[in-house]
Amino acid sequence: MKHTPIVGTSVPRMEGRGKVTGHARYIDDMTLPGMLHGATVRSSIPRGKIKKITFGPGIPWDEFVIVTSEDIPGKNCIALIEDDQPCLADGIVNHPEEPLLLLAHPDRHLLSKTVEAVSVEYEPLPAIFTIEESEAQRQTIWGADNIFKTYLIEKGDLDAAWQNAAHIVEAEYTTGAQEQLYIENNGMIAVYDSEQGITVWGSLQCPYYVHKSLMKLFALPANRVRVVQMETGGAFGGKEEYPSMIAAHAALLAMKSGKPVKIIYDRLEDMTATTKRHPSRTRIRTAIGEDGKLLAGEIDFTIDGGAYKTLSPVVLSRGAIHAGGPYYWPNVRIRAKAVATNAPPHGAFRGFGAPQSLFALERHMDRIAQVAGISREEIRRLNFLRPGQTTTTSQIINEPINLGKLLDRALDLSDYHAKKENFTRHNREGFRKKGIGIASFLHGAGFTGSGERSLGSIAGVEACEDGGLRILVSSAEFGQGTNTVLCQIAAEALGLRYEDVSIAQPDTHDVPNSGPTVASRTVMVVGKLVQSAALGIKNTLIASGVLSDSYSPDEFRTACRAYVAKHGKFRSFAQYEQPEGVFWDDDKYRGEAYAAFAWAVYIAEVTVDLTTYSVTVDDFLALQEVGKVLHPVLAQGQIIGGVAQAIGFALYEKVIWDHGRMQNGQMTNYIMPTSADLPPIRVYFEELGNVHGAFGAKGIGELPMDGPAPAILNAVEDALNISFRSIPLLPEDIFAALSERATPETVPTSPRGDA
């Protein structure tokens, strides 16, 4: 049968119509009869014992539902990797904004005043706020040594390599916290019923993470906890783990009051209390041969995890594995460490540790180029990983990637050499200095190492009464295009039309656990499962004799209808199985870290204005190999959006901390890029394909977060001849550096912005 390809075309966004007409339903658009509004009373100090809680005068307290840790039926924790984060503080607080108790009332206007009327008396304990303070163990605030997790990645013989080095290049790099700043604040609605258990609806990425944590908190079996994802207004990792906390709070209030309870954070609460990108410090020491080749590297990568462990070990893992970049290291040692401080826990954010370690490495490559006297592009080309070589975890590169060719195309597309020459001439005079910078990098798709095997994700496809298919996954849509691309995959797998396929709202009572919507895994891993499950439907129809081997979409629908009329609606499921021969050693952190890598070369062009000290990105080129592009418009949207967010990370977005509390938790003083701030972002793809992903796709969502910051700072160095090693890079940092120009070695500032 003739079939027009669906994969590779830009079909309309599945839920797009609802979004452009205002009919899409987000959590705050939902109300239930008799619903109360909930609010959270939070700690005002970074660390201490709770001595006394007073409910102030002038408030009709008997009208309020009040929940404390004593109301928790199960274990007082937000279950994740370890159960160390309490749902509500019990006697002690470990960071500012830690939840202490909960209030609910029918009048939401009354609530904010009421929160202020609760006063808490503490016995303060000394607290720590930086990586350095944590390492020095000035106070031990977590475990025996403030260390959440360490990893060691080793390959080759380091000691011998140092002796053969023509140059040894050493430096330290830091990155600051970054707020995800989805435009829809966090929110949840919960209902409790003694028979049915708990149902929550909310803005979230991972329905089964919320499900797991509610089961533990309420000591309920799986079938008495139901989690439904509403349309979600942006997430970027920021709605990976914290929604479990808000769901828990709404559910506790719902249980105690017997009424539906809605909790919607306002912007200030969302920014000050919920997770951010981990601040980081990376120290790199490299041995370079006479020919410019990397002989050895010693990389110390440390992240600030905040007060509880939450996802820090996983963020650390990804950061550590990406720390070697797209280069061949014959000898390398990567030591990674996540430490505790008295700040709200840092968490998932697009890139997940990789933007931090890759920022350091890609700045360092420029430094190596200078020391070795080799151009910035050639030092990269000399050291690029080639097929057959191994990564830092000894994973053999099996795909036919040619990074040299990717680099050449990027240099060509950006007109790099001509611009570089022009800028050198241009910069001899005037107060607007121009520069151009490169970053080359990679991003692993899917969970690390044995992660996908332990998840064992399941995806389903259902044949419906009307003859259409319905995809059943817990993978959430929050802008990336999950709905659209998974429907494309199912339609393509069966030779149907895009319109023949729909996707279920993620609801743990309806869809299987296809894993969390994270780690650039949805299209590659879950997409492949959807493809298999869809084929299962076809095979059943053919085996039962209602469909022939060759069919039109209409015949398929007729066959589905006939089968469903006779047997009832039916579902086909597929579960992830690790491909044979995949080796991963969790103890030695060695082996095949990722089923596939996406590869990229980005080039940034900047102007630094020496009267305002501001940096403008004038042009941005993003060239990447991401396997097969299944939907060009969505794929471009992912890259442009990621680059924009990373420009913010590099140049605008600074979290100001004071004693562990964010001081600029508003959109008026935490500055993200507007449409007037961004350059043209020019996106190009190479498409090598990928045997592991549906129709050759790899992950794409996180990749564009990794490269822009180093490319921009490399361009700033090109413009000013000053090496900045810390982001965000604000005008005041440039002013300070220019003022101290006599001493070219700038002192690295604290990643947290603490004085």
Partner 1 sequence: MTASSQERPQCEISFTVNGMSHTVRAYPMERLLDVLRHDLELTGTKEGCGEGECGSCSVLLDGALVNSCLIPVLQASGSEIVTIEGLASNGRLQVLQQSFLDCGGAQCGICTPGMILASVHLLNKKPQPTLEEIREGLSGNLCRCTGYMQIIEAVADAARTGAAK
Burial category of 30 from C-beta neighbours within 10 Å (exposed 0-12, middle 13-18, buried 19 and up): middle
Residue type for position 92: I
| Part of the chain binding partner 1 (CB under 8 A), chosen from 234-242, 500-508, 649-657, 717-725 | 234-242
CB of 534 to partner 1, least distance (A): 25
CB of 682 to partner 1, least distance (A): 9
Nearer to partner 1, 203 or 414 (CB): 203
Sign of CA dihedral 396, 398, 403, 406: negative
Q: Looking only at Cα atoms, what is the longest distance across the chain? A: 84
672 binds partner 1 (CB under 8 A): yes
| Part of the chain binding partner 1 (CB under 8 A), chosen from 149-157, 488-496, 677-685, 714-722 | 677-685
In the list 320, 496, 681, 709, the residue contacting partner 1 (rule: CB under 8 A) is: 681
| Part of the chain binding partner 1 (CB under 8 A), chosen from 159-167, 428-436, 673-681, 727-735 | 673-681
In the list 129, 173, 182, 327, the residue contacting partner 1 (rule: CB under 8 A) is: 182
Determine phi and psi for 578, rounding to 5 degrees: -70, 135
58 binds partner 1 (CB under 8 A): no
CB of 635 to partner 1, least distance (A): 10
81 binds partner 1 (CB under 8 A): no
In the list 674, 739, 745, 755, the residue contacting partner 1 (rule: CB under 8 A) is: 674
Q: How many CA atoms lie within 13 A of 500 on its CB side?
A: 24
Sign of CA dihedral 101, 207, 198, 219: negative
323 and 282 in contact (C-beta within 8 Å)?
yes
CB of 231 to partner 1, least distance (A): 7
In the list 213, 232, 244, 607, the residue contacting partner 1 (rule: CB under 8 A) is: 232
| Part of the chain binding partner 1 (CB under 8 A), chosen from 106-114, 417-425, 546-554, 579-587 | 106-114
56 binds partner 1 (CB under 8 A): no
**For residue 191, which of 257, 106, 243, 100 has the smallest C-alpha distance?**
257
479 binds partner 1 (CB under 8 A): yes
Taking the C-alpha atoms of residue 525 and residue 460, their distance in angstroms, rounded to an integer, is 13
Nearer to partner 1, 22 or 91 (CB): 22
Q: Which residue has the tokens 């498409």?
A: 687
CB of 620 to partner 1, least distance (A): 10
In the list 156, 234, 258, 536, the residue contacting partner 1 (rule: CB under 8 A) is: 234
310 and 142 in contact (C-beta within 8 Å)?
no
Copy the structure tokens of residue 525. Answer: 């891993």
Instruction: Find the DSSP H helices in 323-402.
Output: 354-372, 376-383
Nearer to partner 1, 28 or 172 (CB): 28
CB of 523 to partner 1, least distance (A): 15
In the list 205, 331, 645, 714, the residue contacting partner 1 (rule: CB under 8 A) is: 645
Restricting to residues 1-40, name those near partner 1 by CB under 8 A.
10, 12-13, 15-26, 28-29
647 and 617 in contact (C-beta within 8 Å)?
yes
Restricting to residues 266-285, name those near partner 1 by CB under 8 A.
266-267
For residue 189, what is the enclosing H or E element?
Answer: strand 187-193
- Count of chain residues binding partner 1 (CB under 8 A): 63
Determine phi and psi for 572, rounding to 5 degrees: -120, 135
184 binds partner 1 (CB under 8 A): yes
Copy the structure tokens of residue 432. Answer: 């607007």
In the list 543, 676, 742, 755, the residue contacting partner 1 (rule: CB under 8 A) is: 676
Residue type for position 526: V
611 binds partner 1 (CB under 8 A): no
Taking the C-alpha atoms of residue 62 and residue 173, their distance in angstroms, rounded to an integer, is 54
Taking the C-alpha atoms of residue 515 and residue 80, their distance in angstroms, rounded to an integer, is 14
Nearer to partner 1, 205 or 414 (CB): 205
In the list 84, 231, 240, 625, the residue contacting partner 1 (rule: CB under 8 A) is: 231
110 binds partner 1 (CB under 8 A): yes
> In Å, how far are 140, 324, 578, 583 from 390, measured between CA atoms?
39, 11, 21, 13
Nearer to partner 1, 414 or 513 (CB): 414
| Part of the chain binding partner 1 (CB under 8 A), chosen from 305-313, 475-483, 492-500, 576-584 | 475-483
> In Å, how far are 374, 377, 405, 733 from 380, measured between CA atoms?
10, 5, 12, 28
490 and 531 in contact (C-beta within 8 Å)?
yes
Taking the C-alpha atoms of residue 471 and residue 175, their distance in angstroms, rounded to an integer, is 40
Three-class SS state of 6: coil
Q: For the CA atoms of the chain, what is the radius of gyration?
A: 26
672 and 689 in contact (C-beta within 8 Å)?
no
Nearer to partner 1, 232 or 341 (CB): 232
Three-class SS state of 334: strand
CB of 25 to partner 1, least distance (A): 8
Nearer to partner 1, 277 or 309 (CB): 277
In the list 640, 700, 703, 713, the residue contacting partner 1 (rule: CB under 8 A) is: 640
Taking the C-alpha atoms of residue 212 and residue 80, their distance in angstroms, rounded to an integer, is 8
Instruction: Find the DSSP H helices in 97-220.
Output: 108-117, 131-135, 158-163, 207-218
Taking the C-alpha atoms of residue 551 and residue 538, their distance in angstroms, rounded to an integer, is 10
| Part of the chain binding partner 1 (CB under 8 A), chosen from 79-87, 174-182, 383-391, 522-530 | 174-182
For residue 624, what is the enclosing H or E element?
Answer: strand 615-625
678 binds partner 1 (CB under 8 A): yes
Residue type for position 86: P
Copy the structure tokens of residue 658. Answer: 């004071």
478 binds partner 1 (CB under 8 A): yes
235 binds partner 1 (CB under 8 A): yes
739 binds partner 1 (CB under 8 A): no
CB of 487 to partner 1, least distance (A): 15
CB of 60 to partner 1, least distance (A): 6
Nearer to partner 1, 266 or 465 (CB): 266
In the list 236, 423, 441, 584, the residue contacting partner 1 (rule: CB under 8 A) is: 236
| Part of the chain binding partner 1 (CB under 8 A), chosen from 105-113, 240-248, 359-367, 417-425 | 105-113
In the list 4, 611, 675, 743, the residue contacting partner 1 (rule: CB under 8 A) is: 675
Taking the C-alpha atoms of residue 649 and residue 190, their distance in angstroms, rounded to an integer, is 35
The reply to whether omega before 330 is within 30° of 0 (cis) is no
| Part of the chain binding partner 1 (CB under 8 A), chosen from 86-94, 431-439, 579-587, 640-648 | 640-648
Contact residues: partner 1, CB under 8 A: 10, 12-13, 15-26, 28-29, 60, 63, 106-107, 109-110, 113, 180-185, 231-236, 266-267, 478-481, 633-634, 636-637, 640-645, 666-668, 672-676, 678, 680-681
